Structure 1
Amino acid sequence: MPPATVDLTEAARFVQLFKISGATATKQKPGYTAASRAFTVGGLDWLIEFPYGGSGNWIMFRARLISKGSGGVAASFGCRLVDPSPQGLVVDSPVEVIKSSIFYENRSLDVCLIKWSDLESSRHRKPKDDCIFVQCALTVLEPKDAVAWEAAEDAVASVPSSDLHLQLGELLRSQKGADITFVVAGEPVPAHRSVLAARSPVFMAGLFGDMREKASAIVEINDMEVEVFKAMLRFVYTDTVPELEQKGEQATLMAQHLLDAADRYGLERLRRICVEEMCRNIGVDTVATTLALAEQHGCSELKSRCMKFILATPGNLHAVAATEGYKHLEASCPSVLTELLNLMVKGNK
């Protein structure tokens, strides 16, 4: 039986594949730098940069620490050319460079990967569009104290939090494997049948039942705004609704539209999220349309809160009655106005 292993150090790692199109043409624009989005490794924020023209005769990549007030961070930065074909990605490239350094705020580390002259004949360069693929890896050393070393043998590794929502969100964003396209207000929106069916009983019936969409790869939706449909899809894939994190009326308007979508596709959790959002943000400009929706969708709690807001003061009632939403309420749900009148009469007794 082999001896127990004790980790003396811990490290966090970030790996990203970059595509450089028109690689050799970048030599003609020295002084310009392309940069990745900021990412977090070891609790610190970093960038990976590609300086056009590189360093003299070399193609160069750069790792930069951008976290404020940080310093004394040990990290290594490695780059390697890869063949993007399915066969090439599984074979280690002989063109690989790894360097390490101590980083401080805004300190960078350059890796000279390959000479421009060698790139011309490299199998990793695709002559058709003069592109190369470079895999960059940043590893940040995280110190481990002596107490942790002593307890390592008995310790159980903590289970990382689930990132399923991030993975499914990336699947939606990348559109990889999409097997159905919704055309919403003329705009195509690709998606995945299995994900939709797993989350919505309506999609399950529509895509895998006897309804007409079963065999169709394109489904037209003409009675919903495309941004609302995309927000609903994002919820289906990630169980989150970032659109409702906006402040004020915009979030309420989106919640109103999404409530319609949630009821239409049987998304009960999304329905509850929208109701909660509207309950928190009842105001003069939106309360009448929210009340109409509450009546139409059977949201008794939301309906009660809207009525209490309208009848709270005479000023509220007069202000709401002057809005376009009140006209909509009057036309679509006249019975609600009768209820309001009865409550107002009872309150005056």
Structure 2
Amino acid sequence: MPVKAKYQFSFIDQADKQEPSHIRKLNTYDFSVKDNGRRTSEFIKKDVLENSEHLKDDSFTIRCDVVVIKDVDKGTASSFVTVPPPDMQRHFGDLLMAKEGTDVTFNVGGETFTAHRCVLAARSRVFKAELFGPMKEGSMVTAGVVHVEDMEARAFRAMLKFIYSDSEPEVDKEDYEDVMWQHLLAAADRYDLQRLKLMCEDKLCGLINVNTTTTILALAECHRCDGLKKACYGFLGAPGNLKAVAATDGFDHLIRSCPSVLKELIAMLAP
């Protein structure tokens, strides 16, 4: 890290306790240069020192004053003003909760949700196409309500909160946490919310076990989640895990619905 400093050398007569006699005035020097701050040509010459009154009994005392200078960004120089962190996400979240200015309604699993077209379109190109683009005429709209099929209401609610806040949705850990993250991943992929999709993948990687591997692996295969697939294969490759998973009811369904998985498992286990 570059460092700038001001330095001053002076002789000190300890016996007489006299005021320092300056060799040189304060000078600014950048110690980040290649010579490491050494500028020997600027110090006092030997013959001058030998004839100086400061040399007594072949000895002398030198005092060095160094002041380190910290460069301060002009934009943050003031210590009297504190700029708070961004809070736009909180404002958008409050807007969703208050339902102020909403102009689109969704019916999902028997529940109704209201939102703002512009916000949805800005965050998802799928919503943009459905609400403003070529897909608008083909949307399942009845009496001004968009009907969303094949999705759970709780997953749609969590997805909406993410769209407005860009933060990780809260999932009840006691209510089949892995199932909820699977539904949310499918919703994220459906509406092309890549950040949310990766969040779900990351969460599901930590929820892989004997009972969940088959459904998570099938989901990863269906929604092209390479990282999640690798995590599942890593679990199955551990001693005893594949045998335990093969004994579950979901394994046969996995092989029937995703035959490519069987090929990859054989390739993984082949010597």
Give yes or no for TM over 0.5.
yes
Secondary structure at the aligned position of 2:160 is classed as helix
Change in 2 beyond 3 A, CA 1:294/1:198: same
1:205 corresponds to 2:129: yes
Q: In the alignment, what sits opposite 2:254? A: 329
Shift of 1:215: 8.4
Aligned length: 192
Letter aligned with residue 286 of structure 1? T
- C-alpha offsets along residues 133-175 of structure 1, whole Å, 9 cap, x if unaligned? xxxxxxxxxxxxxxxxxxxx95341211122222111211121
- Given candidates 142, 165, 175, the residue that maps to 1:238 is 165
Contact 1:311 1:317 survives alignment (8 Å): yes
Shift of 1:327: 3.3
Q: In the alignment, what sits opposite 1:267? A: 193
Shift of 1:248: 7.6
Secondary structure at the aligned position of 1:242 is classed as coil
Shift of 1:322: 2.8
Q: In the alignment, what sits opposite 2:229? A: 303
Q: In the alignment, what sits opposite 1:124? A: none
Listed as ranges, the matches of 1:111-260 within 5 Å are 154-211=78-135, 212=137, 213=139, 217-244=144-171, 246-247=172-173, 250-260=176-186
Letter aligned with residue 162 of structure 2? F
Change in 2 beyond 3 A, CA 1:164/1:154: closer
- Given candidates 290, 294, 309, the residue that maps to 2:220 is 294
1:282 corresponds to 2:242: no
- C-alpha offsets along residues 66-101 of structure 1, whole Å, 9 cap, x if unaligned? xxxxxxxxxxxxxxxxxxxxxxxxxxxxxxxxxxxx
Change in 2 beyond 3 A, CA 1:180/1:318: same
**What residue ranges of structure 1 are gaps of 5+ in the alignment?**
1-152
Contact 1:206 1:214 survives alignment (8 Å): no
Contact 1:285 1:320 survives alignment (8 Å): yes
Shift of 1:235: 0.5
When the two chains are superposed, the root-mean-square deviation of aligned CA atoms in Å is 2.3
Counterpart CA distance in 1 for 2:219 and 2:78 is 57
Shift of 1:328: 3.1
Contact 1:208 1:214 survives alignment (8 Å): no
Letter aligned with residue 262 of structure 2? L
Q: Using the aligned pairs only, state the percent identity.
A: 48
**What residue ranges of structure 2 are gaps of 5+ in the alignment?**
1-76
Counterpart CA distance in 1 for 2:205 and 2:266 is 22
Shift of 1:338: 2.2
Q: In the alignment, what sits opposite 2:48? A: none
Change in 2 beyond 3 A, CA 1:248/1:214: closer
